[in-house]
Amino acid sequence: MILPPELRARLERLSLVTRRRVAAQWAGRHSSRHKGESLDFADYREYVPGDDFRRIDHNLWARLGILLVRQFEAEEELPLRVVLDSSRSMAFYDKFEVARVLAGMVAYMGLAAGDRVQLFTVPGSDGRPLGVGPAGRHLSQWPRLETWLEGLEPTGGSALAPAIRRLAGEGPVRGSLVLVSDLLTPDWQSALDGLAVGSGGVILHVLGSEELDPDLAGDLRLADAESGGELPVSTSEDTMRRYRDALERFALDASGRARRSGLDYVLVPAVAEAPNRVLAALARAEAVS
Partner 1 sequence: MSFLIPAAFGLAALAGPLIVLYMLRSRRQRVEVSSTFLWEQLDLPVSSAVPWQKLRLTPLLLLQLLVLAAFVLTLARPFYSQQTLLGPHTVFVVDTSGSMAMAGRLERAREHALDLIRDLSEANQVSVVEAGPRPQVLVAFARDPELVMAALNQLLPTGGRADLSGGIRLARGLATPDRPTNVLIFSDGGVSVLPEEPIAGADSVLLDDIGPNLAVTAWSLEPSTEGTTRAFLQVANFSAEPAVVRAQVTVNGLTAGFVDLDIAALGSARQTTPVDAGPGDVVEVALVGNQDSLTLDDSAVLIVGGGPERAVSVQGSGSPFLSALVDAVPGFTAAGDGPADLLITDGGPLPEIDRPTWLIAPTTPPPGVTLVELVQNAAVTYQRPGEPILDSVDLSVVAVAQAQVVEAPQWLVLVRAGDAPLILLGEVNGHRVAYFTFDLTHSNLVVQVGFPILGARILEWLSGGSAGAVSTEPAGTPIGLSAPAGTSAQVTTPDEITRDLAPGSASFADTGQPGVYRVGYRSEDGTVLEGPVAVRSFVAEESEGAARVIATAGGALGEEEASTLIREWAPWVIALVLLLMALEWWVGHQRPGWKRRSHRSIDQPKVPV
Q: Could you say which residues in the range 199-218 bind partner 1, by CB under 8 A? A: 208-213, 215-216, 218
Query: Could you tell me the smallest distance in angstroms from the CB atom of residue 200 to partner 1?
Result: 17
How far is 143 from 176, CA to CA, in rounded Å? 22
How far is 286 from 289, CA to CA, in rounded Å? 7
How far is 163 from 191, CA to CA, in rounded Å? 8
- Our finding on whether 240 is near partner 1 (CB under 8 A) is yes
- Our finding on whether 9 is near partner 1 (CB under 8 A) is no
- Our finding on whether 269 is near partner 1 (CB under 8 A) is yes
Scanning 27-35, 47-55, 159-167, 181-189 for contacts with partner 1 by CB under 8 A, the matching segment is 181-189
How far is 193 from 179, CA to CA, in rounded Å? 13
How far is 178 from 201, CA to CA, in rounded Å? 5
- Our finding on whether 159 is near partner 1 (CB under 8 A) is no
How far is 181 from 102, CA to CA, in rounded Å? 10
How far is 187 from 210, CA to CA, in rounded Å? 22
Scanning 88-96, 126-134, 162-170, 194-202 for contacts with partner 1 by CB under 8 A, the matching segment is 88-96
Nearer to partner 1, 27 or 247 (CB): 247
Nearer to partner 1, 130 or 268 (CB): 268
- 160, 122 contact by CB (below 8 A): yes
Neighbours of 236 (CB within 10 A): 11
Start-to-end C-alpha separation, the chain: 25
- Our finding on whether 272 is near partner 1 (CB under 8 A) is no
From 66, 220, 272, 283, residue interacting with partner 1 (rule: CB under 8 A): 220
Q: Could you say which residues in the range 241-260 bind partner 1, by CB under 8 A? A: 242-244, 246-252, 255
Nearer to partner 1, 127 or 218 (CB): 218
Q: Is the dihedral angle over the CA atoms 58, 63, 67, 70 positive or is it negative?
A: negative
Query: Of 65, 64, 7, 42, which is closest to residue 55 (Cα–Cα)?
Result: 42
Nearer to partner 1, 134 or 214 (CB): 214
- 143, 161 contact by CB (below 8 A): no
From 66, 271, 272, 283, residue interacting with partner 1 (rule: CB under 8 A): 271
- Our finding on whether 90 is near partner 1 (CB under 8 A) is yes
Nearer to partner 1, 33 or 259 (CB): 259
DSSP H/E element including 117: strand 116-122
Nearer to partner 1, 1 or 217 (CB): 217
Query: Could you tell me the smallest distance in angstroms from the CB atom of residue 236 to partner 1?
Result: 9
Using CB under 8 A, list all residues that contact partner 1.
88-93, 95, 182, 184-186, 208-213, 215-216, 218-227, 229-234, 237, 239-240, 242-244, 246-252, 255, 265-267, 269, 271, 281
